[in-house]
Structure formats: C-alpha cells, structure tokens
Amino acid sequence: MNDASTVSATKSAVSERDLLSKFDALIEERANFLSDGRADPINLVMEQVLSPTRAICNGRETLLLGTYNYMGMTFDPDVIEAGKQAMEDFGAGTTGSRLLNGTFRDHRDVETALREFYAMDHA
C-alpha cells in the first residue's frame, strides 16, 4: 500500500467512527433548503421581546412558540431581584460539573426539599 492509499484508508476508517458524521445528511438537507433562497431559521434575530410569547424577530412581530418564558417570569422584578441576590451570595456558577468539582450544600438542600415535598426517593 502506498502512502496516499494508507492516508485514504485511514481517513475512511476515521470517518466511519466520526460521531458527527451522522449529521452529514442533515447538513446536506439544510444546504438544499437554503439554496432556494429561503430564510435560515437558525439565524433568527430577536430584536425586542414584547411579551412572554411575542417578539420582534428579523423586523417582524413573531409568536414565540418554543419559549420557556410562557409564564412571563423572565422579566418579573421579583425574579430578577432574586437572581441578582443569588449571584451576590453564591457567584455565577459551580465552575464545573458535579462529578469533577462536587456540589454546593445549597443544591443538596434544594434537592432534599424537593424530594421530601414530592415524597420521592431522590431528586
């Protein structure tokens, strides 16, 4: 086997094992979709939030059918203040996964409270 065929065989083997190769068909389908001049749904820009379920997106009023803000809590003053206080008290995060860095005592306390409230074995 010459160097070129060895490289080709190696690339082929790597490609078969490549975890992302399963997206190749989806990538091709997206490219075909966009080739017709259609708007790219992934590049939707939300310029202004009007309500929990409406926003100005790409210059047009749009229904937000996939939002997690359906209860309007994102801009609730009490929620914002509680978030600010939590950041002051605890910082912006645990700096890593529970597996590598452990967990905050307060996370355990919340899990225990939820477990007991819902009468479950664990939370």
What's the pLDDT at 6?
Answer: 63
Name which of 72, 44, 70 is nearest 59 in CA terms: 44
What's the pLDDT at 78?
Answer: 96
The DSSP-derived string for 6-49 is: HHHHHHHHHHHH-GGGGGHHHHHHHHHHHHTT---GGG--EEEE
The tens digit of pLDDT for each residue in 37-48 reads 888 878 888 999
**All residues at 6 or more sequence positions from 75 whose CB lies less than 8 Å from its CB, including other chains:** 49
**All residues at 6 or more sequence positions from 63 whose CB lies less than 8 Å from its CB, including other chains:** 53, 54
State how far the Cα of 44 lies from the Cα of 18, in Å rounded to an integer: 29
CA angle 75, 80, 82 (to 5 degrees): 145
What's the pLDDT at 61?
Answer: 96
Collapsing DSSP to helix, strand or coil, 99 comes out as helix
Domain ranges of the chain: 1-42, 73-117
The token pair at 25 is: 């068909």
The tens digit of pLDDT for each residue in 1-17 reads 566 666 566 666 666 66
